[in-house]
């Protein structure tokens, strides 16, 4: 048998990130603490280089390589660009936060870059094996990141919960993959799709494999009833780590669902659609209702994440190209909102003080009017207020559900959107109408202030002119 070398051109961004991450790891060993900004600069340079390579090699038609385990297509490249963008913002927002807490170490950026690499593999996975490898690379990086503050018992507890429940989810996913391999004889998603199309629901092993896959994916997404780890991890992890967990990995999770359920098991849509309907309904209801009772803003945003996951699932379960594009648009907009929201929380924190409670936002308008305005835009966008990006994102996924006859599901989503608006507007009320309990000045570096401003204004621009991003998502999914 002759060995044919795979084409390495499509995987250049991944190879670049891997090489640079190893370089950062080695260089950081020889740096003193006062030189740690070099590690930060190299991490940002890695993301910039990966973005340029992705743009230069942008896929106009799908290309499969690495013996069928990797696919380069427009959907993957678009999601990767937003992964780089959000990760770069995370690294920037985290820089001063980590420095003030003596956590400004190379490990944060090395683990963050390995997490980005795991997301890239997940996004371009063309087999169940590469799906699992990418997911585990991301998960292991996140487990270690949660406990980056080794002196914090709360962070250690959150990391243990995350690790135990994450391992359970990985086991479920791997068991599902093994059953699908047993039923179809392959881990290649194209061959799995062909075999599933012929066998359908007649093969019980295949159906059970699908169930375990959906359960494993739901754990990773944080969908109800597999959400129990998410609020504790969001609250217990350092805010810079919560920012990372709550942003870019959601893009990889969307890609994972598209690769496994839509591309690999699309012929079983009738089965997984029913499961996603249940997950979406429970997530939207539970997330919005429990968030109302929260006083800790990180826990509130955790339950908010759960409800947003439910809305994203509405687009996917519609099972149409418009639905998939709407879900992709929703996920990108959500990540922009989450990066901004946790970014503001980080900027309000200072040495010896964590801005974790909603009351900490009281009177923010008196202390820093521009930052208050940015946070208001983010909260109102999350609530789905018209003319902001979040409104259009919700409108598109609800419209996708209506177009396939799931009118009751769309009405359900609208009702709980109205309920959910309460806890977002409560934050806005604290910012503008309550008297400040803090008197310290908010110190923000110029580059951070520019990026947080762009972050907030981008939600306004996308809300007023959503066509460009929506068209980009639709075209990417067609290729």
Alpha helices (runs of H) in 269-296, residue ranges in sequence order: 269-292
What is the DSSP pairing of strand 63-65 with strand 70-72?
antiparallel
Residue 336 sits at φ, ψ, to 5 deg, of: -60, -40
Both structure tokens of 274: 């029913």
Q: How far apart are CA 117 and CA 136, in angstroms?
A: 11
Q: Between 189-199 and 153-184, two packed helices, what is the crossing angle to 10 degrees?
A: 60
In a domain, 4, yes or no: no
In a domain, 217, yes or no: yes
In angstroms, how far is CA 393 from the centroid of its own chain?
A: 16
Residues 6 or more apart whose CB falls under 8 angstroms from that of 240 comprise 90, 93, 94, 97, 98, 103, 108, 346
In a domain, 332, yes or no: yes
User: With contact defined as beta carbons under 8 Å apart, do 205 and 179 qualify?
Assistant: yes
In angstroms, how far is CA 260 from the centroid of its own chain?
A: 17
Task: For residue 270, name the pLDDT band (cuts at 50, 70, 90).
Answer: confident
Q: How far apart are CA 415 and CA 271, in angstroms?
A: 26
Range of the domain at 180: 9-478
Task: For residue 279, name the pLDDT band (cuts at 50, 70, 90).
Answer: very high
Q: How far apart are CA 60 and CA 352, in angstroms?
A: 50
Q: What is the pLDDT of residue 351?
A: 66
Check whether 52 has a pLDDT greater than 60: yes
For 8-50, give the DSSP string: -GGGHHHHHHHHHHHHHHHHHHT--GGGTHHHHHHHHHHHHHH
In a domain, 277, yes or no: yes
Taking alpha carbons only, the member of 339, 255, 262 closest to residue 79 is 255
User: With contact defined as beta carbons under 8 Å apart, do 421 and 377 qualify?
Assistant: no
The total domain count for the chain is 1
The secondary structure of residue 61, as a DSSP letter, is S
Q: Say which residue the tokens 């591309």 belong to.
A: 263
pLDDT digits (tens, 9 = 90+) for 106-146: 889 999 999 999 999 999 999 999 999 999 999 999 999 99
Which residue did the predictor score with more confidence, 444 or 351?
Answer: 444
CA distances from 477 to 127, 208, 270, 271 (A): 18, 28, 21, 22
In a domain, 212, yes or no: yes
Check whether 3 has a pLDDT greater than 60: no
Q: What is the pLDDT of residue 318?
A: 87
Q: What is the pLDDT of residue 364?
A: 86
The secondary structure of residue 225, as a DSSP letter, is T
**Long-range CB pairs of 77-81, under 8 A, 24+ apart, other chains included:** 77/476, 78/328, 78/472, 78/473, 78/476, 79/123, 79/251, 79/252, 79/254, 79/255, 79/328, 80/13, 80/50, 80/54, 80/119, 80/120, 80/123, 80/124, 81/51, 81/54, 81/55
Q: What is the pLDDT of residue 334?
A: 94
Task: For residue 6, name the pLDDT band (cuts at 50, 70, 90).
Answer: confident
Check whether 479 has a pLDDT greater than 80: no
For the stretch 321-334, what's the b/e string if a residue is b when 16 or more beta carbons lie within 10 angstroms of its beta carbon? ebbbbbbbbbbbbb
Which residue did the predictor score with more confidence, 33 or 438?
Answer: 33
pLDDT digits (tens, 9 = 90+) for 399-414: 999 998 889 999 999 9
Taking alpha carbons only, the member of 171, 409, 439, 368 closest to residue 281 is 409
Q: What is the pLDDT of residue 362?
A: 86
Both structure tokens of 300: 């509130």
Q: How far apart are CA 260 and CA 273, in angstroms?
A: 13
Q: How far apart are CA 134 and CA 22, in angstroms?
A: 17
User: With contact defined as beta carbons under 8 Å apart, do 265 and 196 qualify?
Assistant: yes
Check whether 1 has a pLDDT greater than 50: no
CA dihedral 266, 272, 274, 277 (to 10 degrees): -100
Task: For residue 176, name the pLDDT band (cuts at 50, 70, 90).
Answer: very high
Residue 117 sits at φ, ψ, to 5 deg, of: -60, -40
In a domain, 430, yes or no: yes
Please give the share of the chain, as a percent, with pLDDT higher than 90: 53
pTM of structure: 0.94
Q: Say which residue the tokens 């810079």 belong to.
A: 240
Stretch (H or E) spanning 176:
helix 153-184
In a domain, 2, yes or no: no
Query: If you average pLDDT over residues 153-169, what whole number do you get?
Result: 89
Task: For residue 42, name the pLDDT band (cuts at 50, 70, 90).
Answer: very high
Task: For residue 100, name the pLDDT band (cuts at 50, 70, 90).
Answer: confident
pLDDT digits (tens, 9 = 90+) for 361-392: 888 888 888 999 999 999 999 998 888 999 99
Q: What is the pLDDT of residue 5?
A: 66
User: With contact defined as beta carbons under 8 Å apart, do 108 and 15 qualify?
Assistant: no
The secondary structure of residue 368, as a DSSP letter, is -
Q: How far apart are CA 311 and CA 414, in angstroms?
A: 10
């Amino acid at each position: 048998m002759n060995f044919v070398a795979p084409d390495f051109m499509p995987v250049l961004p991944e190879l670049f990130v891997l090489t640079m991450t190893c370089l950062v790891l080695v260089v950081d060993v020889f740096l003193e603490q006062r030189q740690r900004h070099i590690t930060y600069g190299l991490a940002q340079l890695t993301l910039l280089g990966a973005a340029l390579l992705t743009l230069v090699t942008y896929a106009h038609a799908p290309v499969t390589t690495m013996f069928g385990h990797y696919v380069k297509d427009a959907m993957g490249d678009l999601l990767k660009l937003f992964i780089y963008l959000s990760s770069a913002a995370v690294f920037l927002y985290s820089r001063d936060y980590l420095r003030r807490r003596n956590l400004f170490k190379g490990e944060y950026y090395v683990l963050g870059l390995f997490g980005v690499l795991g997301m890239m593999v997940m996004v371009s996975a063309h087999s169940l094996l590469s799906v699992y490898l990418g997911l585990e690379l991301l998960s292991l990086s996140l487990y270690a990141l949660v406990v980056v503050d080794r002196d914090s018992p709360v962070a250690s507890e959150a990391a243990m919960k995350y690790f135990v429940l994450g391992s359970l989810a990985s086991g479920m996913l791997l068991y599902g993959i093994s059953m699908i391999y047993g039923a179809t004889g392959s881990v290649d998603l194209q061959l799995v799709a062909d075999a599933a199309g012929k066998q359908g629901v007649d093969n019980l092993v295949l159906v059970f494999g699908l169930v375990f896959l959906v359960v494993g994916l739901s754990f990773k997404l944080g969908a109800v009833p597999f959400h129990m780890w998410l609020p504790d991890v969001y609250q217990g992890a350092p805010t810079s780590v919560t920012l990372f967990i709550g942003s870019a990995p959601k893009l990889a999770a969307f890609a994972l669902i598209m690769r496994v359920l839509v591309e690999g098991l699309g012929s079983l849509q009738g089965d997984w659609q029913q499961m996603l309907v249940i997950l979406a309904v429970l997530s939207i209801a539970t997330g919005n209702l429990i968030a109302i009772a929260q006083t800790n803003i990180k826990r509130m945003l955790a339950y908010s994440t759960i409800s947003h996951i439910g809305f994203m699932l509405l687009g996917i379960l519609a099972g149409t190209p418009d639905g998939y594009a709407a879900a992709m648009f929703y996920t990108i907009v959500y990540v922009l909102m989450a990066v901004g929201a946790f970014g503001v929380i980080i900027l309000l924190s200072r040495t010896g003080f964590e801005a974790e409670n909603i009351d900490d936002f009281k009177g923010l308008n008196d202390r820093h009017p521009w930052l208050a305005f940015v946070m208001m835009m983010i909260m109102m966008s999350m609530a789905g207020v018209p003319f902001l990006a979040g409104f259009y994102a919700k409108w598109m996924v609800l419209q996708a559900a209506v177009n396939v006859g799931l009118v009751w599901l769309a009405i359900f989503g609208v009702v709980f959107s109205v309920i959910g608006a309460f806890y977002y507007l409560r934050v806005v009320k604290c910012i503008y109408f309550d008297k400040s309990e803090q008197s310290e000045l908010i110190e923000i570096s110029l580059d951070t202030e520019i990026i947080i401003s762009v972050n907030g204004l981008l939600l306004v621009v996308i809300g007023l002119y959503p066509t460009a991003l929506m068209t980009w998502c639709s075209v990417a999914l067609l290729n």
